[in-house]
Structure 1
């Protein structure tokens, strides 16, 4: 065995290490140093000035925006000009968002999103109700919400859609409303008898439901379930009032007919025909009213069966001779002129026919087997038709 020397091992290790390690590049102390560019610091006063300018600009922008929103909220942006009244319709399909859009379209607010925020914070949906609301440009957000309140209910209340057919009487209309849950028949009847309605054509002194006859306009409505009965009936009357052509009505008033008489004529037309010949029926009625003692010999008697039957509630079957001789205010075989009230609630077509009748010389009509009315100028022509095989529906 060879003799072992520590010096040999140490010598080999050092050499081996030097061979296996890569030759170092420049020592750290001798590496070239990169020169860093010194950043110029902003002068503290200039920085403060710029900061203050930014804060001032931001405050001004926020202040302007805030003032615009505040002005819209308080209606200051509409001050200085005469208030303009607008009518905004709210239906059961509306939400706070759609109401805000309607207010914007009407020129009552400028920023719908801000009104929506206000409405959501104040729970305006619990205050705003369905119907036609008269608002004006002087109203702030709070006043607008209050102006859209309804004593009958609000946007979150349960609603029901009800269609009132043309030609229904007040009693039939009340029955339809009660059946659909608007309120009870008893409560609606009491309101029809005793509630005050702010229209000069309604006799608020009377306590008979016939005082509303003719003025409950047949249409499709959205009602609140358990709505206040007077409010429900008022909705129908208000709709009627909006349908009247004031210009045509004024022309008839010059002839001596008032609104109630025109609607009474319209109700007779409504109940006497299916709607295909309403203007001819109107002409017969007016010819008889305006020509008592005429050559046809009607002497102002309208002789309309529908009116006779209205005065005989609960009547069933064909009209008898006893019916014709029963003296009620609605028996137009006995009493000249119009009945004391309308006999039904006419639709728009019948009202239009009453305001614009056909110009004819007819005094009679009768229903033929062809299910059409046939018209005659004389009693002889009428009698001949009734005795022919063409007569009878």
Structure 2
């Protein structure tokens, strides 16, 4: 073989080797690229599966939480609870949620507060005492606690003062609704100057100087109103209600205005709402005649007033022997002051009593008073099954 032939053969071998190497390299590169694509697709599928699992798990958790929240909001599956909740001027949505939670009416305080903010609950919920139960959903609870006359965010409050409340009870009610504090209202009642002919400013320091004159009605007060001014609203109303006609009847009755109010207050505390004139007749009959009662009115409501904070809710034998001028089984005649603030109907009854021969009455199981002329008739009723006890 010539040199030229050997060279050509070597050159061909080298070219073929290069081509084979290029083919191998290209094939390896192609295979590597395919494998990378395959691995990439596999990685994507794995990430998608993990993401899907995460989404499903989170969705399941959110669905579970959502059901728990919906269950609480809509009041599903709650243990039966019936209670009362008291809302005061110091409360807000957070403290109200706490009270509802403590009473077993809401499980998730934060969610009730969130719901309440959306539903503007603080401008709807008002001061007062409300009967609530676990059948009420969030919205029903808010509606039940609504009071447009005394909402938590209002600058004024509207208060209905019941007939028969005494001065301390009225002050407590005004304190509850934010008119002012009981301490400041009491101080005003004791020591403020009131420019009315029927208020004795020489009796400063004695709360009873206002008793009988704080007229029970519905009033609108400012929150944190001046305490003397707030009490004057009630005195102004009393002054207006005492018309010329009423004052003429007082003058012709033979009793002072204070005594008429004292009689009216006794009527107010005793009446079932339908028998004011008959109760008035018993009082006058006992005052004006010796009879079987020796001028003693024997009205327990007066003794309870005289006991004050010592009264525990049931009169004991010790209470009945308590020495106070308000003990009308011990002392003859009227108590020294009214024992409550009577409404107009009781004042009218004190001025226009029924004309009867009744000296006794007792409450029956039918929830009305039964009237008697003699002690024997009264005792017979009290020992019967009709007596309410």
TM-score scaled by length of structure 1: 0.58
Cα shift at 1:248: 3.7
Q: Which runs of 5+ in 1 are unaligned?
A: 1-156
Out of 244, 247, 262, the residue aligned to residue 245 of structure 2 is: 247
> How far apart, in 1, do the equivalents of 2:246 and 2:185 lie?
33
Cα shift at 1:318: 2.5
Out of 315, 340, 356, the residue aligned to residue 360 of structure 1 is: 356
Q: Deviations over 1:58-93 (max 9, x none)?
A: xxxxxxxxxxxxxxxxxxxxxxxxxxxxxxxxxxxx
SS in structure 1 opposite 2:318? helix
Please list, as runs of the form range in 1=range in 2, the aligned pairs for 1:18-167 lying within 5 A after superposition. 158-167=155-164
> How far apart, in 2, do the equivalents of 1:220 and 1:252 lie?
25
Structure 1 pair 328–160 and aligned structure 2 pair: CA distance change class (3 A): same
Higher helix share: 2
**Is structure 2 residue 292 aligned with structure 1 residue 303?**
no
Cα shift at 1:182: 1.1
Whether the aligned pair in 1 keeps the contact of 2:272 and 2:369 (CA below 8 Å) is: no
> How far apart, in 2, do the equivalents of 1:210 and 1:317 lie?
22
Q: Which residue of 2 aligns with 1:175?
A: 172
SS in structure 2 opposite 1:205? helix
Out of 281, 284, 287, the residue aligned to residue 285 of structure 2 is: 287
Cα shift at 1:321: 2.0
**Is structure 2 residue 202 aligned with structure 1 residue 205?**
yes
Question: What's the Cα RMSD here?
Answer: 1.5
SS in structure 1 opposite 2:308? coil
Please list, as runs of the form range in 1=range in 2, the aligned pairs for 1:328-347 lying within 5 A after superposition. 328-347=324-343
Out of 291, 308, 313, the residue aligned to residue 313 of structure 1 is: 308
Out of 270, 273, 294, the residue aligned to residue 272 of structure 1 is: 270
Whether the aligned pair in 2 keeps the contact of 1:249 and 1:355 (CA below 8 Å) is: no
> How far apart, in 2, do the equivalents of 1:272 and 1:233 lie?
26
Q: Deviations over 1:26-70 (max 9, x none)?
A: xxxxxxxxxxxxxxxxxxxxxxxxxxxxxxxxxxxxxxxxxxxxx
Q: Which residue of 1 aligns with 2:388?
A: 392
The runs of at least 4 consecutive aligned structure 1 residues that moved more than 6 Å come to none
> How far apart, in 1, do the equivalents of 2:253 and 2:235 lie?
25
**Is structure 2 residue 181 aligned with structure 1 residue 184?**
yes
Q: Which residue of 2 aligns with 1:121?
A: none
Please list, as runs of the form range in 1=range in 2, the aligned pairs for 1:3-14 lying within 5 A after superposition. none
Q: Deviations over 1:198-229 (max 9, x none)?
A: 11221211111111011111111111111111
**Is structure 2 residue 224 aligned with structure 1 residue 226?**
yes
**How many equivalent pairs are there?**
234
